[in-house]
Amino acid sequence: MLFAEPRSSRLPLLNFSLSRRIGMAGLLALCTLAASHPSSFAQTPSASQAKKPVPDSKSSGDAPDDPGPLATDISAELKPKAIQAVVEKVAKWQVKVAEPTFNRLWTYAALYDGLLAASRTTGDPQFRDAVLKFSEQENWQLLDNRFPHADDQAMGKAYMELYLSDPKGSRKPVRMANTKEIMDRLVVRPDDPSKLLWWWCDALYMAPPVLAKTYLATGDKKYLDYMDHEWWQTSKALYNQQDHLYFRDERYLTQKQANGKNLYWSRGNGWVMGGLVKVLEIMPKDSPYRDKYIEQFRQMAEEVKSIQGKDGLWRSGLLDPDSYELPEVSGSAFFTYAIAYGINEHILDRKTYLPVVEKSWKGMLEHVYADGRLGSIQPVDAQPGKFKPSSSHVYGVGGFLMAGYEMNRLAGGKKH
């Protein structure tokens, strides 16, 4: 059974029981899916499962014992045609298996980011259309029953992208109205001295890019100002200035891996680097804030490069790879996405970092199955862990598709 990642508004204790671990996330997902998808099910449901909604921790993916053979019809060549082909293959499979369980939770929000990127990579509108269809079905509403939780704001990235993608004169206000209303509530919220707003590092992917996109849509600097203030509050608490990595949250500040090194979670740091990309894409070149983000981005990229595995990928515990048999593709995907972006935008030196993403892209393709499944993705969690080779979850696929977009740019592919 998969355990839901601790996402409550309070820092959870380490010794909490199974029922408390799954209770809040499960209840939220049950309510959400029951309202919008009465027949929601996991990627490979049984007949009984198909009759009732399931918690988010299960509906984000699965890990069958027999996923079939690995793909033999894809190439790791750094050429647009090869990159676009594998993006198309993985995106088609994921839409086919996941569209029946589309929802507004953070897990799927990352997938929608990837699907929008996949249409830009391939020129195939079906992936964007799937996100647009679901957004319209949800009336462009974010989850809003535990404000100001960043996870519930994550789908605002897709809403705002679909709003901004239309020419200025024909943009549809409904697409951004609810997201802006929630961001307006957020930016006037005073800090709580007893607790960070974004107390877990994943939050830096979920909410800051939504504030940045709201700034882009409105031109109102208050959204960037608030984002910047909160980002560095989180960084002060969780970013290790010596290791140049983020602890997932304050519970892990003193925890160690089996080899005695600090415990840094691969996907958590991937979320942060992905968040840095999405903020830097929007932040004006002359912004007084920009240099701080560039510096942190370069620091993290250098550290990630230095600990890359021989297979091109990273383990779920970054500084103790020997403790983890399989590479972890969701963290690896976000690292690839971020580093390729850094090369494309001349933030990172091409000669130094191109070998990194060539190796990581090739390494990820070794976990693509014949039907398009992307495996070796850690289930929902908050720390390093173990999983099956077939394990596939929507947020990891989202990261992979975004990496494909930047790899296609790197290879000189046409922008759609």
Point out the residues that are catalytic. Answer: 202
For 209-234, the DSSP string reads: HHHHHHHHHH--THHHHHHHHHHHHH
CA distances, 32 to each of 53, 291, 350 (Å) = 9, 40, 44
Owner of token pair 């830096």: 204
Query: Is residue 119 within 8 Å of 402, Cβ to Cβ?
Result: no
What tokens were used for 203? 């939050």
Give one word for 323, left, alpha or beta, with left for phi > 0 and alpha for psi -120 to 50: alpha
What does the CA dihedral 15, 20, 25, 29 come to, rounded to 10 degrees? 150
Q: Per residue, what are the HEC states of 292-309?
A: HHHHHHHHHHHHHHHCCC
- Cα angle 330-333-334, degrees, rounded to a multiple of 5: 90
Question: Cα–Cα distance between 329 and 336 in angstroms, integer?
Answer: 10
Strands 245-246 and 239-240: antiparallel
Query: Is residue 208 within 8 Å of 280, Cβ to Cβ?
Result: no
Query: Is residue 304 within 8 Å of 310, Cβ to Cβ?
Result: no
Q: Which of 393, 303, 319, 383 is nearest to 56 (CA)?
A: 393
What tokens were used for 341? 């972006």
Question: Cα–Cα distance between 17 and 23 in angstroms, integer?
Answer: 10
Query: In 10 A of CB 169, how many CB atoms?
Result: 5
Question: Cα–Cα distance between 6 and 3 in angstroms, integer?
Answer: 9
Q: How many helices (H) does the chain have, and how many strands (E)?
A: 15, 4
